[in-house]
Amino acid sequence: MGDSAIMRLMSRGWRRTRTSAFMVGLCVAGCGSGDASKITAVGVPSADLPSPTAPLSGFVPPSCATNPTQDGVGTWRPISLDGAPSVAEYGVWTGTEVVVVNSQDPSETSAPESISAYDPVLDRWRNIAIPSDVALSRSEPYLAVVGNKLLVYGGYASGNGSPSGSSYPVLTSGWSIDLQTGAWTSMAAGPPMSPGGIFYVQPVFASGTRALFIPFLAYDLPNGDTIAAATYDISADQWATVAAPGSTTSFGCFYPGWNGQQAACNDADYLFLVSAEPLAIKPVPKLLDSTLARYPIAFTPVGDLFFGLGSDPLSQSTAQVFWFDPAHQDWSAPTPIPGGLGLKITTINGRVLFWGEQNVGPTVFDPVAGTWSPVTCVGAPSVAPLGFEVPTNSGLIVVGGTQLPADNGVLEL
């Protein structure tokens, strides 16, 4: 895709003549018989939304485990371990710091409960004290940052072993923590929401004074209702929930992308747009289809569009990328790319960063230049991350704790 084309697509004032492709897709999906509101088919890619540029033939991301001096874009530097937590369980980016939360019962881990914040500019850690009357113990809590408040909510009640069944109930308590003063405030009891997923991501996004929670799967209540998404207003200390759309057979968000107004995500059968104000979920026809496998799709916003990465779980050598336009609810035809780049993506200064594949260095796609580039392996963490990775304004921070000092690093693009 050329520079002028992508800039037209991403500009806020972009307008285009509508074609009949999307309307044909909708009619195939929902017109003519049965429940007209039920989407039952795959949508049709729009002919006037160009596909992403494919990598050059033979493009293979480097294996930093075997090629630690491989050249590429960006720079890595180590993280100071002075004051760092010994174990890193969960983390979230505040805009200036990575907040690391170790919330498991101390009897289950080799480190006590703690909350720490790392400033990559100062290369410095600070501790956020946990009040003596706070029962933080839990696994897989939801983390969010709204304004200067850190939210720690829900998760599974801690116990011996992995969460499963009624022995590990889903918690509905949480705290709002002022990151400037360190003050803790209990949140109003909220809805039960299933934590976790295929891999742990932060399915919570800030929208004004609200935090938008999007669980990996809808939570089934005893009365037959569902909770597919929720918002928490930090100024009013109030919750709101929305049920799974009635026109779908299932609801789930594999790896949602957030553009500041709405999130895009997918389940096995549909794409979804989730908004916080008002709280609503809208299904749209899916793009990727296979009679053999379900494509999990990761989304990240780029300008007015979402960039989607679909991977076939039955074939690690197969992956596709495409553009999704939330304003018109249509997409480009997918572009095949090499598999194994990772299931995680984020947008850094208009470029898309791929990561998360064990022993494979991150990869960068520049949609304006249409180029694909490996990230340098020089100075990269020497082992596969066992903690977590947090996208920042300018790159990626890998946090593994002091027990795995090689598993820490800051990537600047």
* Percent of the chain scoring above 70 in pLDDT: 79
Sheet containing strand 257-258, strands side by side: 257-258, 262-266, 270-276, 279-285
Residue 398 · residue 381 · CB < 8 Å: yes
Q: How far apart are alpha carbons 336 and 321 in whole angstroms?
A: 7
Residue tagged 């921070």 (tokens): 397
Residue 33 has pLDDT above 60, yes or no: no
Tell me which of 94-108, 134-148, 305-319, 368-382 is least confident.
305-319
What are the C-alpha distances in Å from 156 to residues 172, 192, 196, 337?
A: 9, 10, 10, 37
**341 vs 179, higher pLDDT:** 179
Q: Which two tokens stand for residue 311?
A: 């991977």
Cβ neighbours, 10 Å, residue 178? 14
- In three-state form (DSSP H/G/I as H, E/B as E, the rest C), the secondary structure along the chain is CCHHHHHHHHCCCCCCCCCCHHHHHHHHHHCCCCCCCCCCCCCCCCCCCCCCCCCCCCCCCCCCCCCCCCCCECEEECCCCCCCCCCCCEEEECCCCEEEEECCCHHHCCCCCEEEEEECCCCEEEECCCCCCCCCCCECCEEEEECCEEEEECCECCCCCCCCHHHCCECCCEEEEECCCCCEEECCCCCCCCCCCCCCCCCEEEECCEEEECCCECEECCCCCEECEEEEECCCCEEEEECCCCCCCCCECCECEECCCEEEEECCCEEEEEEECCEEEEEEECCCCCCCCCCCEEEEEECCEEEEEEECCCCCCEEEEEEEECCCCEECCCEEEECCCCCEEEEECCEEEEECCCCCCCEEEECCCCEEEEECCCCCCCCCCCCEEEECCCEEEEECCCCCHHHCEEEEC
Mean pLDDT of 162-178: 77
| Of 82 and 316, the one with more pLDDT | 82
Compute the average pLDDT of residues 111-125: 94
Separation between Cα atoms, residue 233 and residue 336, nearest integer Å? 41
Which residue did the predictor score with more confidence, 329 or 307? 307
Check whether 31 has a pLDDT greater than 60. no
Q: What residue ranges define each of the domains in the chain, with the CATH number in brackets?
A: 3-9+36-412 (2.130.10.10)
Greater pLDDT, 311 or 191: 191
pLDDT at position 66, please?
85
- pLDDT score at 359: 73
Residue 392 has pLDDT above 90, yes or no: yes
Q: Are 321 and 337 in contact (CB under 8 A)?
A: yes
State yes or no: pLDDT of 18 exceeds 50.
no
Instruction: Round to whole Å and give the CA distance between 367 and 16.
Output: 19
pLDDT confidence bin for 214, thresholds 50/70/90: very high
* Token pair belonging to 125: 């850690």
User: Encoding tokens for residue 60?
Assistant: 């293979």
User: Beta partners for 402?
Assistant: none
Residue 22 pLDDT > 60: no
Name, in order, each residue with C-beta under 8 angstroms of 202's C-beta and a sequence gap of 6 or more.
92, 142, 143, 144
Mean pLDDT of the chain: 82
Q: What is the mean pLDDT of residues 187-213?
A: 86
pLDDT of 37 > 90? The answer is no
- Of the candidate ranges 96-105, 203-212, 233-242, 293-302, the one whose mean pLDDT is the lowest: 293-302
Name the pTM for this structure.
0.87
Query: What are the φ and ψ backbone dihedral angles of 27, each rounded to 5 degrees?
Result: -70, -40
| CB-based contacts of 144, cutoff 8 Å, min separation 6 | 92, 150, 151, 153, 202, 204, 205, 206, 211, 213
Tokens encoding 352: 């898309």
Of the candidate ranges 117-131, 137-151, 244-258, the one whose mean pLDDT is the lowest? 244-258
pLDDT surpassing 80 at residue 386: no
- Between 209-218, 303-312, 315-324, the lowest mean confidence (pLDDT) is in 315-324
- pLDDT at residue 26, rounded to an integer: 26
